[in-house]
Amino acid sequence: MVARALGPVLRGRVRFAVPTRARHFALTIDDGPDPSTTPALLDVLARRGAHATFFVLGERAERHPDLVARLVGEGHELGNHTWRDEPSWRLEHQAFRDSLRRSQRTLEAHAPVRWFRPGSGWPTGEHLAIAEEEGLHAVLGSAVAVAGAGAGTAGTARWLDAVVRRGAVVVLHEGPGRGAVAGTVDALLARTGRRGLAAVTLSELAR
């Protein structure tokens, strides 16, 4: 069972980080967009001159197209986080494909999408194959905020800064009850900036 779960990862089908010589890391934000968190996040990113990949839930993108348009308009990237906030690994194959496709159609009305992140963390080999058939590449992360329901707390930026290196993929979460995320991102970007590291989108990191 463990070998089956780890096989796709060991064969490089899931990215956790991206080898690079540039002093860049990817900042990724899951579970938006949401009026309670996304505008403040975008304000922080604009002020810091940083960019991020937002792994968006299709149903929230459909509900808040103005926020998706603002994300894209300000130079950020969209990623497919399936249709709703649920553990992807529990879905039957066709239900997973339908969720992925429905989200993809909604997001591609705004911009091309090349990245996929499963809900609740871990993809099955079968789900990876479906995502690949749909032209999507799976990404998890190498530095993940857990405290504050994934939004971070007062000390999160400090310990993230300790593990973020060039090529890292940082994962945070936004949405209801996660109002701390903008402050976490602001503090993290201040710290990484002092070390000469810049936050960029996944596609910029991977090119």
Which entry of 30, 31, 34, 161 is annotated as an active-site residue?
30
At residue 12, the pLDDT reads 74
8 contacts 128 by C-beta, under 8 angstroms = yes
Please name the residues in contact with 151: beta carbons below 8 A apart, sequence gap of 6 or more.
37, 145, 172, 173, 174, 177, 178, 179, 180, 181, 184
At residue 55, the pLDDT reads 98
At residue 6, the pLDDT reads 47
Q: Tokens 């990237």 identify what position? A: 77
Per-residue DSSP letter, 46? H
26 contacts 175 by C-beta, under 8 angstroms = no
Query: Is residue 127 annotated as a catalytic residue, yes or no?
Result: no
Q: Which helix (H) or strand (E) holds 144?
A: strand 143-144
Averaged pLDDT for residues 48-72: 98
Task: Kindly tell me if the per-residue pLDDT of 7 is higher than 70.
Answer: no
The alpha carbon of residue 16 and the mean position of all alpha carbons in its chain are separated, in whole angstroms, by 11
CA distance 73 to 66: 10
Q: If pLDDT is split at 50, 70 and 90, which confidence band does 11 have?
A: low
Average model confidence (pLDDT) for the chain? 94
Averaged pLDDT for residues 133-161: 96
At residue 2, the pLDDT reads 38
Report the CATH fold assignment for 2-206.
TIM Barrel (3.20.20)
Q: List the single range of 2-16, 26-40, 89-103 with lowest mean pLDDT.
A: 2-16
How far lies 180's CA from each of 150, 151, 155, 172, 192, in Å?
9, 6, 11, 11, 18
Q: What are phi and psi of 143, to 5 degrees?
A: -145, 110
Task: Kindly tell me if the per-residue pLDDT of 9 is higher than 90.
Answer: no
Query: Is residue 30 annotated as a catalytic residue, yes or no?
Result: yes
Task: Kindly tell me if the per-residue pLDDT of 198 is higher than 50.
Answer: yes
At residue 138, the pLDDT reads 96
User: Which residue did the predictor score with more confidence, 72 or 2?
Assistant: 72
The domains of the chain are located at: 2-206
Averaged pLDDT for residues 156-172: 97
Task: Kindly tell me if the per-residue pLDDT of 95 is higher than 50.
Answer: yes
At residue 121, the pLDDT reads 75
At residue 123, the pLDDT reads 85
Which entry of 64, 76, 127, 173 is annotated as an active-site residue?
173
Task: Kindly tell me if the per-residue pLDDT of 26 is higher than 60.
Answer: yes
Task: Kindly tell me if the per-residue pLDDT of 151 is higher than 90.
Answer: yes
205 contacts 24 by C-beta, under 8 angstroms = yes
Closest CA to 15 of 31, 2, 28: 28
At residue 5, the pLDDT reads 47
55 contacts 30 by C-beta, under 8 angstroms = yes
Please name the residues in contact with 69: beta carbons below 8 A apart, sequence gap of 6 or more.
110
CA distance 156 to 151: 9
